[in-house]
Chains A and B, each alone.
Chain A
Amino acid sequence: MKNVIFNKMSRLIVVTAGIIIAFTSMVHSKDAIKIGTFLSVSGPASFLGDPELKTLKMYVEKINAEGGVLGRKLELVHYDVQHVAKKAVTAVKRLIDQDKVDVIVGGSTSGQTMAVIKLVEKAGIPFISLAGAAVITDPVKKWVFKTPHTDILAAKKIFNDMKENGWNKLGLLSGAGGFDKSCRKSVTKVAPGYGIEIVADETHGKGDTDMTPQLTKLKNAPGIQAFMYCGFGAATSIVAKNFKQLGLSLQHYQSHGAGSKSFIKNAAGAAEGARLPAAALLVVDALPDDDPQKSVAGAYRAAYEGKYKDAVSTFGGHAYDGLMIVVEAMKRAGSTDKEKVRIEIENTKNFVGADGIFTMSATDHLGLDEKSFVMVEVSNGTWKKLK
C-alpha cells in the first residue's frame, strides 16, 4: 500500500516539477522588441479578445517575415485575463516586471484598462488600449492611448441619423456588462444635446435567452419612434430576433458592439433593416476607390479572413491599429526608448488604419472623430453604407 502511494506521489512530483522547470526556463530571445498584451481570450468577453489576439499574432508574424522593426524581431507576450480586472492587474505587473516588455497593446474591456492605468503610468510604459470607454483617454493620461471609437462618438452618429429622419423619442435596452453600461451612459449623456428624449430605459441580465418582456415594455413607451440596443455578442442577435418576433415597427439601432458579421448571420434574417455606426472596415466594398481607408482596411480584411476563415470584426481592427501605430512610432523614434516612443505615438498624424484616420496630439490620445464612423444598415444579409 505504502509503495503504491509512493509511486503515485513520486510520479506526480516529477510531472509537476517538469512542468515548472519547462516554463520557468523558457528563454526569450534577448534582442527582440517585446510587445506585451493582455486580452479577454476566454470567458464572456472572448468575442473581443479572440479576434484581437489573432490579429496581433498574424501581424507580428508578418512584420517579422518582412525583417522586423529597426532590424529587430518583434516578440508578442500574451496573457489571457478573461473579463477579470484583477487578472489584468497581475498580467500587467508580469509584463512590466518579469517580461520587461517595451510597449503594451491590449486590454479588451474598459474595466481591465482602467484597472491597470495606475500601474502603466507609474512604470512609464506606452500603452495602447483596445477598449471603448471615453474615460480611458479623457482626461488625457501621459502614457495611455486607445484606438477604438468611443461610445460617445457612436451615440452622436446615431442621433444624427435619428434627427435626419425627424425622430426624437428613443427607447433604450442595454445588457449588464461593462460595454453595455458604458454605452448606455454615453447615450443618456449625449441625448439632450441633440434634443433626443429617452422614453424607455430597460436592461437585461447576463446570459439572458429572451428579451421579449423588456421589448414589450419598450413598445408601450409613449411616443417611441426608435429603438437602440447597447451590447455585444450573442445578445445582439437575440434582441434582433425578439424585435422581429414582436413585430415592432420602429427603427432598430444597434451600437458599434454589433459590428461583426456574426450579428447578421445569427439573427437569421431578423437583423434586416437594423442600423449601426461601424468602422469603414465593415463596408470596405462600398467605399469609393479614392478613400484612403479602402486599401488599408481591405488588405487587413483579406489577410484576416484568408488566414482564419472567419468574418472580420471591428474588434480585430482595433488591435491592428494599435500594433501599427506603435510600430510606426518606433520607426520614427528610431529606438524603443519608452519616452521617445510615447512622444512619437502622440505625433501620429493622418495614420490610416482599420478604425479610421488617426491624428493624435498631446491633448488627444484617441485621434478619431465622428467622421471615422459610417452609418450602415443591414440589407440582404450584408452591410450597406448609408448616404
Chain B
Amino acid sequence: MFADFLQFLISGITVGAIYGLVGLGFSVIYNASNVINFAQGEFVMIGGMASVSFLSMGIPMPLAIVLAVVVTTFVGFALEIFAIEPARHNSVVSLIIITIGASIFLRGLAQIIWDRNYHNLPAFSGDDPIKLWGAALQPQSLWVMGGAGIIVLLLWLFFNHSILGKAILATSFNPLAAELVGIDTRRILQISFALSAALGAIAGILVAPIALTYTNVGVMLGLKGFCAAIVGGLGNPMGAIAGGLAVGIAEAFTAGYISSAYKDAVAFVIIILVLLFLPSGLFGRKEIDKV
C-alpha cells in the first residue's frame, strides 16, 4: 500500500515539476509586462525539437542542448522585437491574441522545419529505474526535479539581488515610474522574453526524455504550465513551482485513487476552488483596483 502511495507521489512530483518548469516562463514574462504569453508552450517544444535535431546531425549532446537553448532564446528575443514591441501600447487582450498568433505561427514553422513525428531525447543518466521502498523512479525525474529547484533558486536570487532583476520587477509594478528612474523598459521586455524562452527551452529539454517531443507537445504542456503559474500566483517563480507540484500531485492521486478518466477534470476543479478561496493564487500578490 505504501509502495503504491509512494509511486503516486513520485509520479505527481515528476509531472508537477514539469508543469512548474513550464509555468516559470509564464511568470517571468508576466513579471515584466503583465502579459500572458500563450506561445510559452512553443518555447518548450522548440527546445526539445531543436536538441533532437542537433543531436541527429551528430553534434554531441551537451553542445546540442546549449545550441537548442540559444536558438530558442533567439526566437523569444525575435518574438518580442517583431510582434510585442510594435504593439506595446495595445490592450492586454490584444497582446494575448498576438501571442496566440505567434504560437500558431511557431507550430506551423516547426512542422515545416522538422516533421510531424514524435522523438525521444536520450535520458541524461540512463534509463535504469531507481528502486525506492517498492516504488520506481526514472533517473530523468531527478534531473527534472533538480532542474526545477536550481532554476527557481537562481530566479529568486536574480529578482531579489540583482539590479536587472529588480528593474524587471519595477517595470512590472509601474512602467512609467520605472522609466523615470532611468530603466530602459524596452530593453527589459526584450530580456524577459529571451529569459523566458530560455527557461522554456530548458524545460522542454529536461522533459523530452520522459514525455518525448513533437510539434504539438507545447499545447498541453503550455496549458498545464499556465495552470501551475496561476495556481501558484502569477509572477511568483516559487509559486509557479508550488502550483505545478499541487496540480501534478492532485492529478496523480486522482488517477491512482479515484478515477483516471476524470483526473484532468478533478485537477481543474481544484484549480477553480483554489482561485475562489484564494483569488490571487497560492502566493500571488493581491491586486488592488486602481482608480
Residues of A whose CB lies within 8 Å of any CB of B are 41-44, 46-47, 50, 176, 202-207, 209-210, 212-214, 216-217, 220, 233-234, 237-238, 241, 244-247, 262, 265-270, 310
Contacts and interface: CB of A to CB of B under 8 A. Distances in A.
Contacts of A270: 127
B136 A246 contact: yes
Contact of B210 (A204, A206, A210): A210
A310 B117 contact: yes
A203 B127 contact: no
Contacts of B136: 212, 245-247
A237 B118 CA distance: 10
Given A44-B216, A216-B4, A269-B127, A209 B210 contact: yes
B256 interface: yes
Interface stretch (B89-97, B182-190, B191-199, B258-266): B258-266
Contact of A237 (B212, B219, B252): B212
A47 B256 CA distance: 29
Contacts of A233: 118, 214
Given A247-B136, A262-B117, A310-B115, A216 B256 contact: yes
Interface stretch (B5-13, B76-84, B166-174, B238-246): B5-13
Q: Is the interface of B mostly helix, strand, loop or mixed?
A: helix
B87 to A, nearest CB: 14
> Of A204, A246, A266, which is in contact with the most chain B CB atoms at under 10 Å from its CB?
A266
B230 interface: no
Contacts of B252: 210, 213
B14 A216 contact: no
A258 to B, nearest CB: 12
B111 interface: yes
A362 to B, nearest CB: 38
A205 to B, nearest CB: 4
Contacts of A246: 7, 129, 136
B261 A203 contact: yes
B68 interface: no
Given A216-B8, A266-B212, 11 more contacts: A47-B117, A204-B263, A209-B211, A212-B136, A217-B256, A233-B214, A234-B214, A237-B120, A238-B210, A268-B122, A310-B115
Interface in B121-152: 122-123, 127, 129, 136-138
B10 A212 contact: yes
B207 interface: yes
Nearest to B141: A210
Interface in B99-118: 107-108, 111, 115-118
A205 B256 contact: no
Interface of B: 4, 7-8, 10-11, 14-15, 18, 107-108, 111, 115-120, 122-123, 127, 129, 136-138, 207, 209-212, 214-217, 219-221, 252-253, 255-256, 260-261, 263-264
Nearest to B223: A207
A85 to B, nearest CB: 18
Nearest to B12: A213
Nearest to B10: A212
5 tightest Cβ-Cβ pairs between the two chains A and B? A207-B220, A209-B211, A266-B120, A213-B255, A234-B118
B11 A212 contact: yes
Nearest to B261: A203
Nearest to A248: B136
Contacts of B219: 207
Contacts of B216: 43-44, 46, 207
B113 to A, nearest CB: 14
14 contacts: A42-B107, A47-B118, A50-B116, A206-B220, A207-B217, A209-B221, A210-B210, A212-B11, A214-B256, A216-B4, A217-B260, A238-B212, A265-B120, A267-B120
Contacts of A207: 216-217, 219-221
> Of B10, B115, B255, which is in contact with the most chain A CB atoms at under 10 Å from its CB?
B255
Contacts of B115: 50, 310
B123 A47 contact: no
Given A206-B220, A220-B4, A42 B111 contact: yes
Nearest to A246: B136
A266 B217 CA distance: 15
B138 A241 contact: yes
Contacts of B11: 210, 212-213
B10 A234 contact: no
B212 A213 contact: no
Contacts of A267: 120
A204 B127 contact: no
A137 B115 CA distance: 32
Nearest to B213: A234
Contacts of B137: 245
A46 to B, nearest CB: 4
A176 B14 CA distance: 21
A216 B123 CA distance: 22
Contact of B212 (A41, A203, A214, A234): A234
Nearest to A41: B116
Contacts of A43: 216
A238 B217 CA distance: 13
A216 B7 contact: yes
Nearest to B254: A213
B123 A268 contact: yes
